[in-house]
Structure 1
Amino acid sequence: MHLLLLASYAPSLINFRGPLIRDLRAAGHRVSVGAPDISADLRARLEAMGAEVHETPLRRTGTGILADLRYGRALYRLMRRIRPDIVLTYTIKPNIWGAFAAHQAGVPSVAMVTGLGYAFTDAGAASLRQRLVRGVARRLYRAATNRNARVIFQNPDDRDDFLAAGCLADPAKIGMVDGSGVDMAHYARAPLPDAPVFLMIARLLRNKGVREYAEASLRVMQLHPQARCLLVGPFDEGPDGIARADLDRWVAGGLAYLGPLDDVRPVLAQARIYVLPSYREGTPRSVLEAMAMGRAVITTDAPGCRETIRDGQEGFLVPVRDEAGLRRAMEKMIVAPEAAAAMADAAHARARERYDVQITNRKMMQLMGLCDDAQGTVSSVS
């Protein structure tokens, strides 16, 4: 079959969907991909994997309806031209406009909800404009999912909140997977360093918990001079982005900002503990990568995050927005290195048992009707 995979952020096609593309190609399926701002290097890497690459004109962080309508129209024209048998989308704009375009083109579509994000987070503290944007997003999601053949979620909280918000009328369309999975061979286990080095990898957004991590890190490094705290990730120009002035202040206080990295494995190998104090996720891929490489994890007791580890076994769960609680968990890892090492062992075992990408991709292909449980033969999703 011919699958069209639509993304809002081109590098995610390699970073998050690369193993799925490879497995689909290995199973004999034709794969086309679409995203905005595809660099020449990324295009070459995707084509080397056997994917057919298409530029799609999307403003990822904007809220302008005219630009989104143009994006939807471009997707419809692409589908009419390349004629896929099925469309798979992820993140909010491809999910919504991809569903509309596929329905218009007469192609079954599957949406993967990798996180509810801005349209569902902090509704109580939002401005009038933000509340209006969220209301529109939810109505659009409901209209889009009416046109989907299936809607796949990565954790039960997202599924339940999505249903409660009225974004999906037919629960029979729901499929569940444990995140996007992690390539256990690519993220091979690495020896733990002796020094207490903490690491966070994320886009620089408030709802990722970057502020809490940075402030807790400054205090931890004051109290424990042997500790180092690293931050990796790109700036985000969206409404939730971290201000550069804040980052400059944190760096002046000792936080090591390494910017965005194409390959995070070397910096994960430098770290002893991985930290992600996010407000909510689908299933955080960076946590799975850290677990695969044998790192204990500190994350939040929040949707998506709380499913990855068990508190006190693979790491610690802390309350959302709780800088003091995060700092105390970081200090526990410093003063009890043997316990932290045991948590690292448990994290690696849990990644292998539950989050191996081969398990996840097999489930994804089954949910899309690209294979069945028994012989792996092609069936239909519609």
Structure 2
Amino acid sequence: MDNKRKNVLIACDSSHTLLEFRGKLIEELVKGNNVSVFTPKISRQQVRDKLESLKVTVYENDLNGSNVSIFSDLKYIIQLYQLIKETKPDVFFPYTFKPVIYGTMVAKLCRIDCITPMLTGLGYNFTDSGKKNKLVTAITKMLLKFSLRGNKGIRIIFQNQDDYLKLLKTGIIGRQQQAFVVNGSGVDLTHYDYSIPDTLNISFLMISRLINAKGIREYYEAAKSVRHKYPEIKFKLIGSFDNNIDAITLDLYSKILFDDTLEYIGSVDDVRPYIKNASIVVLPSYYGEGVPRCILEGMAMGRAVITCDSVGCRETIYNSAEGRNGFLVPVRNVSALASKMEYYINHTTDIISYGINGRHFAKEKFDVNLVNAEMLKIMNVV
């Protein structure tokens, strides 16, 4: 084993993910390496303070991961090229689409020895939604293929097997390339404590940005249907309404805000109190997830779940002779979603037993320490 401290550069498209999704990984990396991050501007002081306490060097940029801007993207590429030439990282770890595509191309150009791009889900670009911009999708696929090809130092990380097989099938990567599948971003079981769900005052909780492919409309319509029969049941929604290519319509947003179907909470810094107060966690997503973090958080806290039989989401459902932790429903199927909601309303003991099973499943498969141990091996820093 090489005991020399390595220089690790991390690139992301959103500063809030650095600690929320990669915090424990960064804590492991700094134990034996010099770590830097290239991130969009950090708006939350606690994020900046934590990175400083970990002795992580921060370089900021103006990248917008959700929007298409040739000028902004070109500026990002130039800044990253200059940064890599200046810092000379031994390991370059980009995650999410733009940092993966642009960062991997730049890192290859700069001859970085170990490049470990991680695709945290394929998003809109590999779904069948007719609303997305087909030209942008075609360009994204072409750039992804170009960036990931032709370098022995590239070790591609996926968060589910479906994404790996999809890129093989579409010819974006080949079987000769180094590829690894890890169990999502993992979940910190010491941070998300188990608690017994309330089965007397049943409530459902969805945590998601307000975009169509996350299943916001399906959740709203299913909640409306269920509340017609069970008006005492509560449905809550956490998440921001962003300027996004797939943002929900203003009409739906208005209904969420002003009618009594959902209790809209908006963005929160800590989801744990809301999960604790919920009976079941729901995510009817067909977005193209890696492994959805909100479902892992719900499982860790002992919550039964309902999600879609879609890429990434299906990884979170455990069903065997020993028991199960939740349900998969077909995508965009409001009646199936409402039916599973009603199942929990009429089988309250399963809310508890499925939640216990979910906690065990999270511990067995998604514990962040297990996931990070794999990540460190892939990155060649252990």
TM-score by length of 2: 0.93
Within 5 Å, give how 1:191-270 maps onto structure 2.
Answer: 191-194=196-199, 195-251=201-257, 252-270=259-277
Tell me the equivalent position of 1:307.
315
Alignment check: 8 A CA contact 2:302 2:359 kept: yes
Secondary structure of residue in 2 paired with 1:231 = strand
Aligned match for 1:317, one of 328, 331, 334? 328
| Alignment partners' CA distance in 2, 1:45 and 1:219 | 44
Tell me the equivalent position of 2:52.
47
The percentage of aligned residue pairs carrying the same residue is 39
Task: Tell me the alpha carbon deviations over residues 75-99 of structure 1, each in whole angstroms, 9 at most, x when there is no partner.
Answer: 1111122221111011100000011
| Alignment partners' CA distance in 2, 1:9 and 1:214 | 28
* 1:328, distance to aligned residue in structure 2 (A): 0.5
Letter in 1 for 2:38: G
Secondary structure of residue in 1 paired with 2:37 = strand
Secondary structure of residue in 2 paired with 1:33 = strand
Provide the aligned length of Structure 1 versus Structure 2: 367
Alignment check: 8 A CA contact 2:300 2:359 kept: yes
Alignment check: 8 A CA contact 2:220 2:261 kept: no
Aligned match for 2:84, one of 79, 82, 100? 79
Q: Is structure 2 residue 144 aligned with structure 1 residue 141?
A: yes
Q: Is structure 2 residue 278 aligned with structure 1 residue 274?
A: no
Alignment check: 8 A CA contact 1:141 1:168 kept: no
Task: Tell me the alpha carbon deviations over residues 299-333 of structure 1, each in whole angstroms, 9 at most, x when there is no partner.
Answer: 01111111111357101110001011100011101
Letter in 1 for 2:145: R
Letter in 2 for 1:12: T
| Alignment partners' CA distance in 2, 1:38 and 1:119 | 27
Letter in 1 for 2:15: A
Letter in 2 for 1:93: K
Tell me the equivalent position of 1:21.
26
Secondary structure of residue in 2 paired with 1:151 = strand
Change in CA separation of 1:171 and 1:188 when aligned onto 2, cut-off 3 Å: farther
Within 5 Å, give how 1:327-342 maps onto structure 2.
Answer: 327-342=338-353
Q: Is structure 2 residue 359 aligned with structure 1 residue 348?
A: yes
What is the root-mean-square deviation in Å for CA atoms of aligned residues? 1.5
Alignment check: 8 A CA contact 2:308 2:314 kept: yes
* 1:170, distance to aligned residue in structure 2 (A): 4.7
Q: Is structure 2 residue 34 aligned with structure 1 residue 30?
A: yes
Tell me the equivalent position of 2:180.
175
| Alignment partners' CA distance in 2, 1:244 and 1:37 | 28
Larger RCO (CA within 8 A; separation ≥ 6): 2
Task: Tell me the alpha carbon deviations over residues 89-115 of structure 1, each in whole angstroms, 9 at most, x when there is no partner.
Answer: 111000000111111222131110110
| Alignment partners' CA distance in 2, 1:368 and 1:56 | 24
Alignment check: 8 A CA contact 1:57 1:74 kept: no
Tell me the equivalent position of 1:376.
none
Within 5 Å, give how 1:57-96 maps onto structure 2.
Answer: 57-96=62-101
Alignment check: 8 A CA contact 1:310 1:317 kept: no
| Alignment partners' CA distance in 1, 2:235 and 2:131 | 31
Unaligned runs of 5+ in 1: 372-382
TM-score by length of 1: 0.93
Tell me the equivalent position of 1:375.
none
* 1:250, distance to aligned residue in structure 2 (A): 2.7
Of residues 1-10 and 169-178 in structure 1, the stretch that sits farther from structure 2 once superposed is 169-178
Change in CA separation of 1:73 and 1:169 when aligned onto 2, cut-off 3 Å: farther
Tell me the equivalent position of 1:111.
117
Task: Tell me the alpha carbon deviations over residues 131-180 of structure 1, each in whole angstroms, 9 at most, x when there is no partner.
Answer: 21111111100111015611111111111111212221354311110101
* 1:217, distance to aligned residue in structure 2 (A): 1.1
Letter in 2 for 1:260: S
Letter in 2 for 1:31: V
